Amino acid sequence: MAAQSQPVQKNWSPTRDLRKFMAISTTTLFALLVLILFLLPIAYMGVTSTKSLQQVVDPNSMLLPMSPDKYTYEGKDYVIYEVPFPEGERVLALVEPYREDSNFIDPKDPGAGLIPWVGRWRTLTPAMHFDPTFENFTKSWETINMPILFRNSFIIAIAGTIGTLLSSIAVAYGFSRFRIPGSNVIFMILIATIILPSQVTLIPTYAFFRLIGWGGTWWPLIIPHFFANAYNVFLLRQYFKGIPKDLDESAMIDGASPLQILLKVIIPQSWPALVAVSMFHFFWSWNDFFTPLVYLQGKEELYTIPIGLTQFNNAFGTQPGMLQSAAMMAVAVPVVIFFLAQRAFMRGVVVTGVDK
């Protein structure tokens, strides 16, 4: 019997597959370039934080924390250079540097004595080795009292996040589930406050908090977040409206009150949105500089990380390694929380199982 021929795919086209491959490759390359550009400042921060002051000012150090190789000869350390000779390049330690000629020693054969070389030694390239230092982190941690700054920032950020969640959930639940006369107008007025610059209310708010004796305390940084935020309310309201009301009706048939519906039906279905709101506020509070500066002026024991880093920058602006190490420690907490919250966000999407 003759072998049966394989069926040919009718709609296959090499040109179309090539176009698809080119489109995917172009998109991937563009995304990779954007990611590299986004991570370059963080990479520079990480590299500089491991450099000593000498490595920062040394032009031979380049981008990485590099230090020149040294050889100990007769109880002294001498820098090793790459020295050109007619027979080839040799790696020698500079023992007696002069303007037009110098004497070197061979680290592999110090018994051969001094090796003369004619030329300007400053034009030679020193032999370098990778030499990161982590003393900058220890010095920065102790100099600016980082534990106190971390404690203050954590208290303010976590307390404000709790207040934001409680108030925003309550307001968003009311707008999304209850029929209130004029609720649409009230909601529009609330949303309109997003475009209101904070500088407009700065002086009246500051005067009010000073009048009630809250100046120089954390209360002006925490209490206002217990009165909801237009952006968070909008985000949660839209998410709550996407949850089927059939779940509410089923719970009401079983005798659940509105509060029980919120706690046992709405919130369990809204973890992704709640995590997003928590992340937004925590990061904003962690990085906020202006508000603590206004209300905590003169209270150094209550300062947050942004204010502490600013003072540290003013005092140690000539030491980039220490500045970048302090910034790295301040950034580490939001980065860790972001990755942990991202996992919780994905888990919430999978667990809900509700088509929105």
Helix, strand or coil, per DSSP, at residue 5: coil
User: Could you tell me which residues come within 8 angstroms of residue 192 by beta carbon, excluding any fewer than 6 positions away?
Assistant: 230
Q: Is 134 a residue whose pLDDT tops 50?
A: yes
User: Where does the pLDDT of residue 345 fall: very low under 50, low under 70, confident under 90, or very high at 90 and above?
Assistant: low
Q: Is 7 a residue whose pLDDT tops 60?
A: no
User: Where does the pLDDT of residue 163 fall: very low under 50, low under 70, confident under 90, or very high at 90 and above?
Assistant: very high
Q: Judge residue 40's burial from the number of C-beta atoms within 10 Å of its C-beta, 0-12 exposed, 13-18 middle, 19 or more buried.
A: exposed
The reported pTM is 0.78
- Give the range among 130-139, 296-305, 332-341 with minimum mean pLDDT: 332-341
Give the tens place of pLDDT for each residue, 235-275. Answer: 899 889 888 888 888 888 888 898 999 999 999 888 888 98
Helix, strand or coil, per DSSP, at residue 76: strand
Q: Is 9 a residue whose pLDDT tops 80?
A: no
| Higher per-residue pLDDT: 280 or 317 | 280
Give me the pLDDT at residue 86, please: 86
**Mean confidence (pLDDT) of the chain:** 85
Q: Is 347 a residue whose pLDDT tops 90?
A: no
Domain ranges of the chain: 23-65, 70-126, 137-352
Query: Is 292 in contact with 307 (CB distance < 8 Å)?
Result: yes
Q: Which of 312, 309, 325 has the alpha carbon at shortest distance from 51?
A: 325
Give the tens place of pLDDT for each residue, 79-106. Answer: 999 999 888 889 999 999 988 889 999 9
Q: What's the topology of domain 137-352?
A: MetI-like fold (1.10.3720)
Q: Which of 245, 277, 90, 118 has the alpha carbon at shortest distance from 177?
A: 245
Q: Is 12 a residue whose pLDDT tops 90?
A: no
Q: Is 2 a residue whose pLDDT tops 60?
A: no
Helix, strand or coil, per DSSP, at residue 222: helix
